[in-house]
Structure 1
Amino acid sequence: SKNVGAQFKPVRLILGRKRLNSVTYQKIMRASHHRPLNLIRHLRPRTESVIQDVDIPIENAAAFLVEFEAEIGIRPVWICPFVVPDGRFSLFKLRTDTPYINFGFWDMVRSSKPDGHYNARVEQLVKKHGGKKSLYSRSTYDETTFWTEYDRPRYQALKHECDPEGRFPGLYEKAVQRE
């Protein structure tokens, strides 16, 4: 991404092929929010980090992309079609009767809007188009909305089985309240 200079060959060579991905980008962007790097942010226009990975049913993918381009405008957008062979991933349910398009995108968006505006807008577009977003990226859901998307009863059963004493944070706390 242009925000870390990855468009320049020397930077790409230094980073290496294994680090040219959204996970590395997300780590760099999170680290930039800590002192002393945080002080540099005040010298630049305000931006919002948008790092998202979303799955949209193929019949809604074109409409999603048109709205995404008009409202968010991040490029490039990684596009990968896939099918869900069965329903075994109960914590991240997707339909098995339709192909999906996975859209991946990350960038810093210049913004005069409140922090989180663009990430919340991506979540709204995903819901509007019948999709689901991965939880490694920034989430702005309120708790009620979050649990309508991510199967609270199934998660609580698994959490009780794997962490009966409640020593670790829950999924909502980790995915949304982590910052």
Structure 2
Amino acid sequence: VFNKGILERCLKLYSDRMAKLGLPLSEQSLQKAHEGSREEVMKAFDEQHFGHRHAKKSVEKLDEEIDKVYKNFILANEYQSSKLCEALYTRCEDKMDQLQVLRLPSMAKFNAGFLQCNQSFERECVGPSKTSYEHRMMKMLGRSKSLFIEEYNHRLFNWLVAFSLVMVVVGRFII
């Protein structure tokens, strides 16, 4: 009974410290923040609690409550990570689509866009969803590249055929 108010304050301290984190984070960073916050909360509880026997039960209860809050933070981190990585994936997909329909296809432009997309994804996508989105991203980029090369070769061939026909006509009738 005496420790209930202290327990609630300590749980609030933990929640406040964890809420200050900018999600999404990597799983290791979240785990470190959890351990640091938990340690600080346990130290604060240790300094303030009443009694010895009741304190043991209160510590167990506090530990359970901290685990519940931590699980919520894990879920929130997964959600934020998924949201961020999905937005980056969609942006890259749109960029690849734009590069597919260039009037004059340029391999240099495509490779630069491809590289920029890949780098921004690697740099900005963090958290537990990164690995699954990395796999999706590689598949999408691979498909885009092969489609671009196929279209590039097709257009190049068409231009060469058109140029050859023009040269035949010029050579036959003008010269």
In the superposition, the TM-score normalised over structure 1's length comes to 0.23
Q: Which of the two has higher C-alpha Rg? A: 2
